[in-house]
Amino acid sequence: MENLTLNEVYRRGEATLEGAGVPDAEVDALYLTENIFGADRTALILHGDRPADSGLCRRFFDCIDERASGRPLQYIMGTWNFMGYDFYVGEGVLIPRDDTETTVLRALKLLNGREAPRVIDLCSGSGAIAISLKKMMPQAQVTALELSEDALGYLKRNAERNGAEITIVKGDVSTDAEKFADGSFDMIVSNPPYIISNQIDTLQRELSYEPRMALDGGKDGLDFYRIITERWAAKIKPNGWLVYETGEDEHEATADIMKASGFCDISYDLDLQMYKRTTYGRFGK
């Protein structure tokens, strides 16, 4: 490979991604430049005229080709930041999304003032919610429940990576509520699968790399809100909270499901795109 400077490498990478129609080509090329050469935007401005290591160049352009073919940037890098914490990610586990930070922030607000609150994160995936909560509220006793073996592998490694002492349980939200005593938790938090089954294949191509069981919310997208609300409500202490991430346009239906199971003070938070992204309510006031 010819000798290239860091700037040339970065620009070629960006041009390839742009040509392949990757949205945010510039941002993705920058992430990969930083991930592989350790050079962020400032380093490119200051030292971009320095020669780029040829071995690293090969790796960089391989990654650019993978990204151009549609593989998500986060899986290529193998790591992603959520709430200021680094998480291992890869095929088999959902990539933590910025929108989910809305749910973590609401959970923290609702738990504020409770001594050693007990929290369970259902459908925990990479552990993004459970681990961030434990890091930001160390006095909380956090359990993370997940069904997928692949996701559980990431969840365990992410808890270790972040030094988060949480309890990790393999379990199925459909059948395993009975393993917990009634009134066990101050809060249930969950970002369950919530995409309408027949819409999954029509969404952006990157989603096809993520596990279907992390996305598929059934015929109307609401299966998991019904299952969790109906089967897990009694596990919440009186005056405890149920906090969901909800899909676009799912707040009202989720609120109705919660009302029917004895929740009150139901409300929502908007995400940065102004969708009602977090739906929460108090159990049995």
Ligand X SMILES: C[S@@+](CC[C@H](N)C(=O)[O-])C[C@H]1O[C@@H](n2cnc3c(N)ncnc32)[C@H](O)[C@@H]1O
| Position 146 contacts ligand X (CB under 6 A) | yes
Q: How far apart are CA 277 and CA 285, in angstroms?
A: 24
Q: How far apart are CA 179 and CA 231, in angstroms?
A: 11
| Position 228 contacts ligand X (CB under 6 A) | no
| Position 192 contacts ligand X (CB under 6 A) | yes
Among 33, 132, 191, 246, binds ligand X (CB under 6 A): 191
Comparing CB distances to ligand X, the nearer of 39 and 129 is 129
| Position 214 contacts ligand X (CB under 6 A) | yes
Q: How far apart are CA 14 and CA 61, in angstroms?
A: 10
Q: How far apart are CA 8 and CA 3, in angstroms?
A: 10
Q: Give the nearest distance from C-beta 156 to ligand X in angstroms.
A: 13
Among 6, 10, 44, 100, binds ligand X (CB under 6 A): 100
Contact 39, 6 (CB under 8 A): yes
Q: How far apart are CA 273 and CA 159, in angstroms?
A: 30
Nearest residue to ligand X, using CB? 125
The beta strand positions in the chain, using DSSP E, are 79-82, 85-88, 118-122, 141-146, 167-170, 185-190, 236-245, 263-270, 276-283
Q: Give the nearest distance from C-beta 175 to ligand X in angstroms.
A: 8
Q: Give the nearest distance from C-beta 95 to ligand X in angstroms.
A: 7
From 54-62, 93-101, 106-114, 254-262, span contacting ligand X (CB under 6 A)? 93-101
| Position 174 contacts ligand X (CB under 6 A) | yes
Q: In terms of DSSP bridges, do strands 236-245 and 167-170 run parallel, antiparallel, or are they unpaired?
A: unpaired
Among 172, 182, 252, 265, binds ligand X (CB under 6 A): 172
Q: Give the nearest distance from C-beta 132 to ligand X in angstroms.
A: 10
Q: How far apart are CA 74 and CA 71, in angstroms?
A: 9
- 73 φ, ψ to 5°? -50, -40
Q: Give the nearest distance from C-beta 256 to ligand X in angstroms.
A: 21
Residues that bind ligand X (CB under 6 A): 94, 96, 100, 123-126, 128-129, 146-148, 151, 172-174, 191-193, 213-214
